[in-house]
Amino acid sequence: MQHIYLIRHGQASFGAENYDKLSDLGKRQAGVIGEYFARQEIVIDRIIHGQMSRQQETAEIIARNAGFNKNLILHKGANEFDSENLIKYYLPKLANQSKKLNDIIHSDENWWASGDNFELFFRALVNMWQADQNCPFEPWDDFKKRCLNCLTDIAQMKEPSTKKHGATLLATSGGLISVIIQSILASENETFNYRAFMDMNLSINNTSISEVVWQKNQSIGNETMLKNRNRLMSFNNITPLLLAKTPELITRK
């Protein structure tokens, strides 16, 4: 049995020229999470992160504040979907489909400046991406498969030689976490719920912790009692941030 903590990156630089770096607040959030793992005396076997700067920075700060001295592991499968190309490619198409959205795009205020407008546009853009069978960048189906393969890779990593096995921390993004959690909760015959994916994605706080447990096959005699599977233990846990009693640490950007 392996415990995997899925940690969304700290607050990025939303609205800046380069979004893909932690804001000062994001660095503080990551520090709080690292201190939490240290106080709880949670043994950490490995810390993994994607290629994105905001993911790597989050992992580095957590490691430093948790007293984790091993090398961090890069896993390209932990990257977020390509939101930059998603916006560039689908925003003009979206504007052509709706006068309301076109008016917002061409207003004096940036379409993403308002929380309501951002959610409206982001949902519509992701819906177009999910439905597009000819997407010129990473298609939705490939992204979903990559997320699930990433979790499987991590779950099957060789356990350390020490007797006391610890946890795996994965610093990643909301898209991957949403795909994994929804896939765990869905029944075998249930199709992927696209709306639930966006509901979940937009609700995940920066540096929140979602815990997944990977269970290997368990048999009694020749009968398999439990097949390889992931179990969800917690989702979007922000207890460390709440304990800090600093309201500005609670963000979703």
Residues 113 and 192 in one domain: no
Neighbours of 69 (CB within 10 A): 7
Residues 72 and 165 in one domain: yes
Question: What sections of 71-230 are H helices per DSSP?
Answer: 83-97, 99-105, 115-131, 140-155, 174-185, 194-201
Mean pLDDT of the 128-154 span: 95
Residues 110 and 234 in one domain: no
Mean pLDDT of the 65-87 span: 96
More confident residue, 222 or 234: 234
Largest CA distance in the chain: 70
pLDDT score, position 224 = 45
pLDDT score, position 216 = 64
Distance CA 23, CA 13 (A): 5
More confident residue, 118 or 226: 118
103: confidence class by pLDDT, cuts 50, 70, 90: confident
Strand 73-74 with 218-220, pairing: unpaired
187: confidence class by pLDDT, cuts 50, 70, 90: low
27: confidence class by pLDDT, cuts 50, 70, 90: very high
pTM to 2 decimals? Answer: 0.90
pLDDT at 196 > cutoff 80: yes
Mean pLDDT of the 84-109 span: 88
CATH number at 152 reads 3.40.50.1240
Q: Above pLDDT 90, what percent of the chain?
A: 67
Q: Which amino acid is at 59?
A: A
Residues 161 and 178 in one domain: yes
Residues 111 and 202 in one domain: no
226: confidence class by pLDDT, cuts 50, 70, 90: very low
Residues 32 and 58 in one domain: yes
Q: Which residues contact 69 (CB under 8 A, 6 or more apart)?
A: 63
More confident residue, 117 or 10: 10
pLDDT at 3 > cutoff 60: yes
Q: Work out the angle at residue 93's Cα, subtended by the Cα atoms of residues 90 and 94, and round it to the nearest 5 degrees.
A: 85
Mean pLDDT of the 38-61 span: 96
Q: Which residues contact 123 (CB under 8 A, 6 or more apart)?
A: 198, 202
Residues 27 and 66 in one domain: yes
Mean pLDDT of the 222-240 span: 77
Number of domains in the chain: 2
Contact 90, 129 (CB under 8 A): yes
Q: Which of 131, 149, 164 is the last residue of a domain?
A: 131
Mean pLDDT of the 205-209 span: 98
Residues 75 and 172 in one domain: yes
Q: What are phi and psi of 29, to 5 degrees?
A: -60, -45
State the DSSP code for 21.
S
Could you tell me the residue range of the domain that residue 55 belongs to? Answer: 2-81+140-249
Mean pLDDT of the 17-41 span: 93
Using CB atoms within 10 Å of the CB of residue 96, give its burial: 0 to 12 exposed, 13 to 18 middle, 19+ buried: exposed
Q: Which residues contact 201 (CB under 8 A, 6 or more apart)?
A: 174, 175, 177, 178
Residues 12 and 30 in one domain: yes
Mean pLDDT of the 82-88 span: 93
